[in-house]
Structure 1
Amino acid sequence: MRSRRVIYADTYRHRWHRWLFIAGCILVSLLLLGWWLQRNPRPDPATYPILGVRLDQTDGVQDFYRLRSSKVSFVYLKATEGSSYFDDNFNTNFDQAAGSRLSIGVYHVFSFETTPQAQALQFERKVGSNIGDLPIGIFLSYYSERKPSAAWLTQHLNAFIMAIQQRYHRSVLLMGSPDILAKVKTVVPQAPRWIVSNKRPAQSGNFWQYTNGARIPNGPQAAYRAAVFLGKRSSFLRLAQ
């Protein structure tokens, strides 16, 4: 007499295969995520030996001695944004970075919504004398649908820089994507540029932020906005005051 198959045997088998497929997809996703977190796109250290990171409060309080031991040479700390924002970790990170023998820069995120004078006052009030030894950074980005014209950006950025330099007598560093930096190419043209791009910028003697989130070699288990200096070490040392 032939054995009779349970009517739901195929259903159970299909369900088992489906769960195996789902489990396999999850495993592959986890492996890809692990690779993504561990990846190291750092440009060739022999060509670009001077490595740095750009930090804000989303990165938390840092171990700057660990960064230094990972061959990081400089850090840029976010201080202010617009006329009212102050980074929660700025003071703590600045104090700790000051004893690490890292070169330190601070930066302000420029706003299209408030006046240059109000933004300069916020920077001066919150930062005080803690400006480090590198040029003061001014970060530009299109954070909304509004994209000011080149003329508007040039006028307002010049006003902000004038107010900052009257207080600090320090050079500035313009930071942003190639697109937005092209709009302000006439603003302090002798000042260095920090270019955010996944491709090497054509200009020389600038900072190149090559990633918005990746590990640094032998560094902490965290993703950083990392950058390299494109010029010679002697040029970098001349920037530090």
Structure 2
Amino acid sequence: MRRYRHRYHHKYTFPSIIILLIVAISILLFGVYNLHRSTNTTVPRGSNMSVLGIELDQTKDDVDLHKVQDNGVSFVYLRSTQGKTYFDDNFLLYRDQLQGTRLSWGSIVTYSNESTPLEQYQFFMKKVGQNSGNLPVMIVPAVDSQSKKYWRSLATFAQYLQSNGKKILVADNHHWKNLFLPETQFLYTGASLKNRKDYSFWCYTQNGRVKNTEYLEGGTTMFAYIGSMSNYQQLYDSNLTQ
């Protein structure tokens, strides 16, 4: 007896089914990928960097730092002062809590264009003092300025801190390097890391998340150390002030 076989009578039917299957599988894989990204700590795209950090300030209360360290984060930067009058409400709180963790940490200074370098240095030392962490003090411009006068002023502020034994990390894409002392480090802030030899750290997102950590589910500024894990451990793998 002749075996019955179903035959497709339209030459486009079978290819159409294959295409639909491919599209469906692609959508499924894309959904799984995005679910994985949305539930895990945000990492730099296209990079194998494993030493990650976050920023904390008074907009994020009650963050459990032990959960932070257990979910892929190695260091924390704390907002401290801006200009000669502003001091972050959570700086001292988080600074104390960090002592009970293995997280390295550092201080962020937002450099104002409305006060002198000396005024801002004196205010920082009054509020933060020597206990600014074992990471370099990060100086972030308060304004998006291309004024050489402003950057000279910021460089002078950096030198005040350096004369007091502080290491400095400037959040600028190396444009004003010649105004700073040779030992000054720089933070890359672009979306795609280039010329990594010119930088020590990278701010790779301002909308990241830390897995299983309340108040850090989104909108978290995140950093990566540009270098090997062994170099990081040698330089910074301790939360004791250096």
**Do the structures match in fold with TM over 0.5?**
yes
C-alpha displacement of 1:185: 4.5
Query: For 1:171-210, what aligned pairs fall within 5 Å after superposition?
Result: 171-176=167-172, 178=173, 181-204=174-197, 206-210=200-204
Is 1:157 the counterpart of 2:154? The answer is yes
Aligned partner of 1:214 among 208, 218, 221: 208
Could you list the per-position Cα deviations for residues 130-166 of structure 1 after superposition, in whole angstroms to 9, with x for gaps in the alignment? 21111111112425xxx3522x134212321222233
Mapped partners of 1:141, 1:48: distance in 2: 28
The structure whose residues are more often helix, as a share, is: 1
> Aligned-residue CA RMSD in angstroms?
2.6
Question: Is the CA contact (8 Å cut-off) linking 2:85 and 2:123 kept in structure 1?
Answer: yes
Mapped partners of 2:71, 2:186: distance in 1: 25
Q: Which amino acid aligns with 2:147?
A: S
Which residue of 1 is the match for residue 116 of structure 2? 115
Mapped partners of 1:109, 1:86: distance in 2: 10
Which residue of 2 is the match for residue 30 of structure 1? none
TM norm structure 1: 0.73
Question: Is the CA contact (8 Å cut-off) linking 1:77 and 1:107 kept in structure 2?
Answer: yes
* Partner SS, residue 196 of structure 2: coil
Which residue of 2 is the match for residue 7 of structure 1? none
Which residue of 2 is the match for residue 8 of structure 1? none
Which residue of 2 is the match for residue 60 of structure 1? 61
- Unpaired runs of 5+ residues, structure 1, are 1-33
Aligned partner of 1:228 among 211, 224, 227: 224
* Partner SS, residue 235 of structure 1: helix
Q: Which amino acid aligns with 2:175?
A: A
Which residue of 2 is the match for residue 138 of structure 1? 139
What percent of counterpart residues are identical?
30
* Partner SS, residue 139 of structure 1: strand
Greater mean deviation of Cα atoms: 210-219 or 114-123: 210-219
* Partner SS, residue 222 of structure 1: coil
* Partner SS, residue 67 of structure 1: helix
